[in-house]
Amino acid sequence: MRTKQIWKLLLVIIPLLGFVAISSAEERKYPPYPDVWGYELPWPKESQVLIYEMPDGDFAVAYKQDKDVGDKYIIKYFFSGHEMYLKEKEYTEFKKRGKEGGENKIVLKNGDIIQLSRFGGRIKECKNAFTDNYFYKTDANGRVTFKKMPFYLHDKPINMPLADLYDLRMCGGHGVLSMMIENLGRTFEPLDDGGLLFFSAYGGFIIRFDKNLHTKSRLINQKVFFMDRDFFMKNFYKKQKLGNLAEPYQALHDALLEYFLNVKKNAKVDD
């Protein structure tokens, strides 16, 4: 009799234990966030970089492997650092567990707004992704408190047809640029501590900023550079007569590259 009662009790308890285990795995773990500030991602990608907020508060960075590695997806958890490789069907199931994020405009905890401004300037000008992309912050009163242009330093030059940089509704571009730096990084994801994640859907990096928009990422001034928009307009853009030919854009690129390599050379890197 006692044995039957024990088994009945076990039949009740065992499913409950499984439920507790599952619930614990799904409980919020973050924040507080650990001292993790960013990663360099392989370049180039076969697919766009996507980000998913997971039930525990971590963020999964997902992208497809390069062609010479195979057809698997790599998943990198930002705060835990855990990595896994998934096949197409597994990745489809994985996406159902998280909430896809990443926007070009977000609202932070304190009410500040971070957003991308692309293709600025006068309407009749030829607008392009190299000089016109920047992001800016406005406070609760609508005042712009900073404007930054993000540039990514490639390991080797890439050839970019000028036409790919232009808004072709306005004008066509002729020629090819040899680029070591690229205006890159257009996606934001707010964090529960008031900060944000900043990354490029095309790869290269993902960086965390705190609520004061400071970061401890070692990628800064090594692979990723931020230039004040007004500084760029005064010291670089205004000195160039840009049209629809590659030569003046190449000269602008080369001047910026020299500037950033100088910054990199003089930057202090923690051990």
For the ranges 59-63, 112-116, 171-175, 185-189, the lowest mean pLDDT is seen at: 171-175
Q: For the residues 175-182, what does the mean pLDDT come to?
A: 92
CA distances from 169 to 165, 173, 222 (A): 12, 11, 35
> Exposed/middle/buried for 184, CB within 10 Å: 0-12, 13-18, 19+?
buried
Q: 167: which 2 tokens?
A: 């808004």
Reference 51, options 205, 219, 256; nearest CA is 205
Q: Name which residue leads in pLDDT, 251 or 12.
A: 251
How is the chain split into domains, by residue range?
30-266
How many whole angstroms separate alpha carbon 180 and alpha carbon 182?
Answer: 7
For the ranges 26-30, 123-127, 208-212, the lowest mean pLDDT is seen at: 123-127
242-245 contact pairs (CB < 8 A, 24+): 242/126, 242/131, 243/126, 244/126, 244/162, 244/166, 244/171, 244/172, 244/173, 244/174, 245/162, 245/173, 245/174, 245/175
pLDDT at 166: 65
What residue spans of 55-120 are helical by DSSP H?
88-95
Query: In this structure, are residues 68 and 203 in contact, taking their beta carbons and an 8 Å threshold?
Result: no
| 3-state DSSP percent of the chain in helix, strand and coil, to 5 | 25, 30, 45
| pLDDT range class, residue 248, cuts 50, 70, 90 | confident
pLDDT at 27: 82
Alpha carbon of residue 174 to chain centroid: 30
pLDDT at 10: 45
pLDDT of 185 over the 80 cut: no
| pLDDT range class, residue 23, cuts 50, 70, 90 | very low
pTM of structure = 0.83
pLDDT of 24 over the 60 cut: no
- Write the pLDDT tens digit of every residue in 33-63: 999 999 998 776 666 899 999 999 999 999 8
